[in-house]
Structure 1
Amino acid sequence: MRALVVHQVGPGVAVQDMGRPGFLAKGLTRGGAADLRAVYEGAALLRQSADLAVLEMVGTGGTFEAKEPLRIALTGAAMTVAVDGETVAWNASHMMPAGAKLVIGPSRDGTYGYLHVGGGFDTDAVLGARATHQSVGLGDLVSAGMILPVGPDKGRDVGMTLARDPRFSGGDLRIVPSMQTEDFEPTIRDRFEETAFRRDPRANRQGVRLDSDGDGFSNPKQLSIVSEVIVPGDIQITGDGTPFVLMAECQTTGGYPRIGTVLPCDLPRVAQAPAGAPLRFTFVSLAEGAAIQARADADLRRMGQSVTPLVRDPHDIKDLLSYQLVGGVVSATDTPLDEG
């Protein structure tokens, strides 16, 4: 049986995929992985579809055992990781022999780490997806004792890596105008762009609270806002002037005014920012935002072209002497085929 046995697991670990599009009118947001870029990275490392389900880990992972040989990849927030006691590289793909123990510990940067398997996790699909949507009760968090089925693996490549993307320490975010942007005074909008925000520890898959020094960003017209459709990336301003960036499992409607909306390609930077990380916002026009997003989507589709072989440091190879290091070596001066 192709499966991964869960021996121990941290809080909030769940099976995720690209989510469930098309159900917003029925009261269900898309959900899916908090960092979709990490899903594409794992798919590129394993040379498989980004639609396959992965394991999303929040802050820490757990201990897992392969029932059969499995190809794995590790992306997102870098965590301590070892296979049968030997440290392996993050943002890379590896082979897990049958019976091998994979131990994934605390994150060293970012928030969400991802474990991918060749063939994807083959849990039951609900409404066309395997994503766990905690806020509406679709799916269960992963717990110790679970056996996670793995689908057929059509690939063979392992020992591949991707350059580390710099999205794990906050940074600059591009936003487009939203429905209520013009309701905010120009001075408030300008101050919003000039403000150095910090990611508040109060954050989850529904939204991220932002802290800042100075006055809040209250909208004088906010009491007249009628509840309307909202989407991930919207920046709601609460009654006390505090901004919240809505994330993958946000509600479908809301009555707080929105000062702007984070571009989807920048949203992983919000998701991965650790508590206290700096975040700044810059307005771009809808046309500029569409062009930026189109380029980002094209980059995701081409990500497989950026995968390179993982070169191990001989210092880190415990059984270096067991390797055949000189097989196939020939002399540049001695040409035995010319003899005789």
Structure 2
Amino acid sequence: MIDLTVKSCGPMTALQDRGRLGYQRFGVSPSGAMDPRALALANALVGNPPETAAIEFVNLGGTFACEGGPLRLALAGAGAPLKIDGTPVPPLTSALLQEGQVLEVGHPRSGTFAYLAVAGGYAVEPQLGSLSFHLRSRLGGLKGAPLQAENRLPCRPEAQAGAPMQLSVDIPEDTGPIRVMLGPQDDYFTPESIRLFLESEFTISSQADRMGFQLTGPKLDHAKGFNIVSDGIVAGHIQVPGSGQPIVLMRDRQTAGGYPKIATVISADLPRLAQLRPGAGVRFRAVEREEAVAAARQLRDWIASLPSKLEPMHFSLTTEHLLSRNLIGGTVDALSSAAHD
């Protein structure tokens, strides 16, 4: 067995996969990766199915060591940099971590969530069919907990064969408003509130985590009060409590809620919203079901195409590549050379 040993990491660094599906009716939150696009990228680079569990980093990075290596691994998401023994690994490439080497994942630069995948996945026992860690129920992760220093993640040695690969693929980078479908309780809001919701800019507040993103902006007034009979919650539902400030429910959401939901973020845009940091502005645009379904299929097809975009890793003599290498093994002067003649 090969182990990836945690030397240091942030407090919410944890294993996440597609989520714990099929148990919400029993009150179990699905959890799962906040950015499944980045999860799929990291997994494609090491030959895994797109929803295989990886280490999810939240705002912070970490350092790791390999015991019994080598390990074939890859990092993707939020522009987080990767180094092995201080040498940068180019973006969207896999790498081999040899026994004794130190892997360093830097802080995400352009978002919040990054993912570290290893070939074959982590050999950890799932709970209710998933490795996804859920903080409030303490399900999944490594023995029901996030990762911390000295943890050892077992990996499958038989999956480590193969050369490093790179992905030549365009990353979806939509910058327009987040698309939503109105409802299911948009009739609980005044027409003016619907207009404000779709025409105003909101801000991601500091009260944003894997359970939900509290937004700040114009107050959205209710037309029929702010309590409803509790009903089921899906990722992307936008609840509006009595404060009039919307809350976008995310992967660690509760399974049922009693506040009216003005709209629902479409599944294809939820990863983009998840990568926004507190203080970022966000606008919404209402779409019909046909556009939401087309966008979901487009994202599905893009993820499915990733293995066909893999190619063997090659290096070109660019300035960036040369600067990442130690090209000098030492220096001598004429006198020291003469002394050894």
TM-score of the pair, normalised by structure 1: 0.87
Residue 58 to residue 291, structure 1, CA distance change in 2 (3 Å): same
What's the % identity of the aligned pairs?
34
For residue 135 of structure 1, give the secondary structure of its aligned residue in structure 2. Answer: coil
Which residue number corresponds to residue 143 of structure 1?
148
Is 2:300 the counterpart of 1:297?
Answer: yes
Mean Cα deviation higher: 241-250 or 309-318: 309-318
Which residue number corresponds to residue 18 of structure 1?
18
For residue 197 of structure 2, give the secondary structure of its aligned residue in structure 1. Answer: helix
Is 2:196 the counterpart of 1:195?
Answer: no
Is 2:109 the counterpart of 1:108?
Answer: yes
**Matches of 1:82 and 1:222 in 2, distance apart?**
53
Is 2:232 the counterpart of 1:229?
Answer: yes
* Displacement of 1:285: 1.2
After superposition, give the CA deviation of every residue in 1:27-65 in whole Å (9 maximum; x if it has no partner): 112111111111111122222212321000111121100
**Matches of 1:234 and 1:135 in 2, distance apart?**
20
Which residue number corresponds to residue 166 of structure 2?
160
Q: Report the AA paired with residue 205 of structure 2.
A: D
Q: Report the AA paired with residue 104 of structure 1.
A: V
After superposition, give the CA deviation of every residue in 1:300-328 in whole Å (9 maximum; x if it has no partner): 21122334546453423524589xxxxxx
Query: Is the contact between residue 66 and residue 98 of structure 2 (CA under 8 Å) also seen in structure 1?
Result: yes
Query: Is the contact between residue 177 and residue 282 of structure 2 (CA under 8 Å) also seen in structure 1?
Result: yes
Q: Report the AA paired with residue 268 of structure 2.
A: C
Is 2:252 the counterpart of 1:249?
Answer: yes
Residue 202 to residue 167, structure 1, CA distance change in 2 (3 Å): farther
- Where does structure 2 lack aligned partners over 5 or more consecutive residues? 330-341
Query: Is the contact between residue 93 and residue 158 of structure 1 (CA under 8 Å) also seen in structure 2?
Result: yes
Which residue number corresponds to residue 284 of structure 1?
287
Following TM superposition, the consecutive aligned residue runs of length 4 or more in structure 1 with deviations greater than 4 angstroms are: 319-322
Which residue number corresponds to residue 122 of structure 1?
123
Query: Is the contact between residue 73 and residue 117 of structure 1 (CA under 8 Å) also seen in structure 2?
Result: yes
Q: Report the AA paired with residue 318 of structure 1.
A: R
* Displacement of 1:255: 0.8
Mean Cα deviation higher: 302-311 or 122-131: 302-311
CA RMSD between the two structures: 2.1
Q: Report the AA paired with residue 247 of structure 1.
A: M
Q: Report the AA paired with residue 100 of structure 1.
A: Q
Which residue number corresponds to residue 221 of structure 2?
218
For residue 159 of structure 2, give the secondary structure of its aligned residue in structure 1. Answer: coil
* Displacement of 1:163: 4.6
For residue 56 of structure 1, give the secondary structure of its aligned residue in structure 2. Answer: strand
Residue 173 to residue 307, structure 1, CA distance change in 2 (3 Å): farther
* Displacement of 1:294: 1.8
Residue 221 to residue 10, structure 1, CA distance change in 2 (3 Å): same
For residue 292 of structure 2, give the secondary structure of its aligned residue in structure 1. Answer: helix
Query: Is the contact between residue 73 and residue 96 of structure 2 (CA under 8 Å) also seen in structure 1?
Result: yes
Q: Report the AA paired with residue 258 of structure 1.
A: K
* Displacement of 1:265: 1.2
Which residue number corresponds to residue 338 of structure 2?
none
Select 1:206's aligned residue among 208, 211, 215: 211
Query: Is the contact between residue 66 and residue 98 of structure 1 (CA under 8 Å) also seen in structure 2?
Result: yes
**Matches of 2:206 and 2:126 in 1, distance apart?**
32
Query: Is the contact between residue 198 and residue 283 of structure 2 (CA under 8 Å) also seen in structure 1?
Result: yes
Q: Report the AA paired with residue 239 of structure 1.
A: G
Mean Cα deviation higher: 157-166 or 246-255: 157-166
* Displacement of 1:124: 1.3
Query: Is the contact between residue 54 and residue 114 of structure 1 (CA under 8 Å) also seen in structure 2?
Result: yes
TM-score of the pair, normalised by structure 2: 0.87
